[in-house]
Amino acid sequence: MKIALAQQNYHIGNFSSNTNKILDAIGEARKQGADLVVFSELCVCGYPPRDFLEFDDFINQCYAAVETIAKVSVDIGVIIGSPARNPAKEGKDLFNAAWLLYQGKVQGVAYKTCLPTYDVFDEYRYFEPAFEWNVLEFKGKKIALTICEDMWALSENPLYRVCPMDQLIGQQPDLMINISASPFDYDHDEDRKEVVKANIRRYQLPMFYVNCVGSQTEIVFDGGSLVYAASGELVKEGKYFEEDLLVVDLEEMNNLQQAPDEVIRLLDKDMRVSKIEDPEKIIDYLTAENNIRQIHDALILGIRDYFSKMGFKKSILGSSGGIDSAVTLALACEALGKENVRAILMPSQFSTDHSVNDAVTLSQNLGNPYDIIPIKPVFDAFLESLAPVFGDLPFSVAEENIQSRTRGNLVMAISNKFGYILLNTSNKSELATGYGTLYGDMAGGLSVLGDVYKMQVFALARFINREKEIIPNNILVKPPSAELRPGQKDSDSLPEYEVLDKVLYQYIERRKSPDDIIRMGIDDSLVQRVLKLVNTNEYKRNQFCPIIRVSAKAFGVGRRMPIVGKYLS
């Protein structure tokens, strides 16, 4: 029996587009001789549909799409993901379901058991967990069909009371199929392989794992679908950050010899977060070449899908001659095309000549359109208007923020006039510590670098320059500065980024306590200061735009902290 895995990019709520994609893949799988073609979790409606699931019309359209797809399953089996209504009065109204279609009708449905409710996931808000488990039979084979999180319930300290595969294995299935919508973060791909292998080792069955690809606002799905033989050998692996179709002959795969014995790390609740304990190795890990390459590809996909799925074409951003705006501009040009990215240079009387020259050189290297709009006349007009209120008070952060908000007003005005979407350039280190101006440099429709630490931004710049100098070298080597007062440097307000990022990573990703971080050899007062900055600036991040998620713990939907709270503040 030949099985095809269709790794596709869906659009939430775009039933016609999603259905057509699925029909096209069925046709291609049929051409390649597949007996069964498998699609990802909730492929019919797109993942995550969130509160769309509360609309009966939305569910009706899901069912209509399932019927349409079933009609073409006359000679080929199809497994798709779609919500299913719960016929019982008790419990939630819906199941997260995998449907087996064949001979023009529904042959069976499997319901998801393990409903993640952590980080970006909130499935128990909508779905009822499965309460019975049965293999599905197709062409003489018994399929243990599970959905995404169901295959992760193997740890010694599991999040869930029931492991669905433990229930299914007693029915002597011939193979495991898992349909997933597993979000990307830069150390998650290896975790997936480990958990797939752990399932194989435990149940002694081949595994077909299909993941979706594409970006849904802030969440990126990287694909990387997998086929493993019962021997533990990797048979096929899907492309990353691209659509793909894998076709595998089950019988040929079952003839593979047993792979050499290996130690497979079972999951625990922290597996999806890297366990870097040595503070001297944190920056090396965050900026490792493979991590940076994946982050680069995820950000490109995140920008491209946000624009295409929202119907946008052109973007705008403020180009300061600094590293953050330079990396954002380079990524946007790659994702959208250089002609669709407009850079606005807005020097003040505090801007250095080399910053303006660096920004101009960058746009010339990239070939994108740019404009220079000095802000001093606008800034002076603000100060004149405020003079009766400010009086003789000395220059302070108020005047600094006027400059930032002036720039925000200018780029938003151009955005409104020409229909551009403003890309925000703030990085994770700045957002964590509140080093940004609300309604100024924190303005934007999409944050490109908001889940990327400053040291990773520098590594991204080097990656962008891997073949030739696109970002001028001067931008990479000069001390970071907001240039809002004479001689200003970021280090005047923040610890050096190499130290700051170590503390932030341990607190945000690892959820370490102040004492834990101090015991790693980091200065007590610095740790206390940084954590206070993080917690007291929650109100700023709460007003921020969507952030493309690339880490295991991003600001936004995956990190939910109270604004009014005393802990560590």
Q: Which CATH number fits domain 287-494+538-542: 3.30.930.10, 3.40.50.620, 2.40.440.10, 3.40.50.1820?
A: 3.40.50.620
Contact 303, 329 (CB under 8 A): no
Q: 3-class secondary structure for 200-223?
A: HHHHCCCEEEEECEEEECCEEEEE
E strand map for 278-328 = 315-318
Structure tokens at 171: 């029915």
CA 372 from chain center: how many Å?
Answer: 33
323 is in an annotated binding site: yes
Structure tokens at 110: 């499997």
Our answer to whether residue 142 is catalytic in this structure is: no
The rounded distance, in Å, linking the Cα atoms of 526 and 543 is 27
What are residue 289's phi and psi, to 5 degrees? -55, -45
Which phi-psi region, left, alpha or beta, contains residue 38 (left: φ > 0; alpha: ψ -120 to 50)?
Answer: beta
Helix axes 279-286, 454-464, angle to 10 degrees: 40
The rounded distance, in Å, linking the Cα atoms of 6 and 29 is 8
The rounded distance, in Å, linking the Cα atoms of 47 and 13 is 9
The rounded distance, in Å, linking the Cα atoms of 379 and 89 is 63
The rounded distance, in Å, linking the Cα atoms of 39 and 61 is 18
CA 330 from chain center: how many Å?
Answer: 19
CA 189 from chain center: how many Å?
Answer: 13
The rounded distance, in Å, linking the Cα atoms of 246 and 3 is 8
Helix axes 15-31, 56-70, angle to 10 degrees: 20
The rounded distance, in Å, linking the Cα atoms of 247 and 243 is 14
199 is in an annotated binding site: no
77 is in an annotated binding site: no
Looking at 41, 123, 128, 538, which residue is catalytic? 41
Count Cα atoms within 13 angstroms, Cβ side, for 101.
28
> Given this model, what pLDDT does residue 272 score?
42
Whether the bond into 48 is cis, omega within 30 of 0: yes
Structure tokens at 546: 């969507």
Strand partners, 234: 228
274 is in an annotated binding site: no
**pTM for this prediction:** 0.94
Q: Which is nearest to 432 in space by CA: 554, 321, 291?
A: 554
Contacts by residues 493-496 (CB-CB < 8 Å, ≥ 24 positions apart): 493/435, 494/429, 494/433, 494/435, 495/526, 495/530
321 is in an annotated binding site: yes
Per-residue pLDDT of the chain (569 residues; tens, 9 = 90+): 999 999 999 999 999 999 999 999 999 999 999 999 999 999 999 999 999 999 999 999 999 999 999 999 999 999 999 999 999 999 999 999 999 999 999 999 999 999 999 999 999 999 999 999 999 999 999 999 999 999 998 877 788 999 999 999 999 999 999 999 999 999 776 889 999 999 999 999 999 999 999 999 999 999 999 999 999 999 999 999 999 999 999 999 888 755 444 434 444 444 444 556 677 889 999 999 999 999 999 999 999 999 999 999 999 999 999 999 999 999 999 999 999 999 999 999 887 778 899 999 999 999 999 999 999 999 999 999 999 999 999 999 999 999 999 999 999 999 999 999 999 999 999 999 999 999 999 999 999 999 999 999 999 999 999 999 999 999 999 887 767 667 777 777 789 999 999 999 999 999 999 999 999 999 999 999 999 999 999 999 999 999 999 999 999 989 999 999 889 88
322 is in an annotated binding site: yes
553 is in an annotated binding site: no
318 is in an annotated binding site: yes
> Given this model, what pLDDT does residue 257 score?
55
Looking at 45, 62, 114, 148, which residue is catalytic? 148
Q: Report whether CATH 3.40.50.1100 matches the domain 2-254.
A: no
Our answer to whether residue 148 is catalytic in this structure is: yes
401 is in an annotated binding site: yes
Q: Using CB atoms within 10 A of its CB, is residue 170 exposed (0-12), middle (13-18) or buried (19+)?
A: exposed
**Sign for the pseudo-dihedral over CA of 92, 96, 100, 101:** positive
DSSP letters for 509-526: IS---HHHHHTTT--HHH
**Amino acid letter, residue 479:** P
Tokens 């699609």 sit on residue: 39
232 is in an annotated binding site: no
The rounded distance, in Å, linking the Cα atoms of 290 and 100 is 37
Looking at 21, 45, 62, 112, which residue is catalytic? 112
Q: Coil, strand, or helix at residue 81?
A: strand
Tokens 């746009």 sit on residue: 363
Structure tokens at 257: 């010899």
Our answer to whether residue 190 is catalytic in this structure is: no
Q: How many CB atoms lie within 10 A of CB 328?
A: 30
Write down the domain spans for the chain: 2-254, 287-494+538-542
315 is in an annotated binding site: no
Structure tokens at 155: 């740890």
225 is in an annotated binding site: no
**Sign for the pseudo-dihedral over CA of 471, 475, 476, 477:** positive
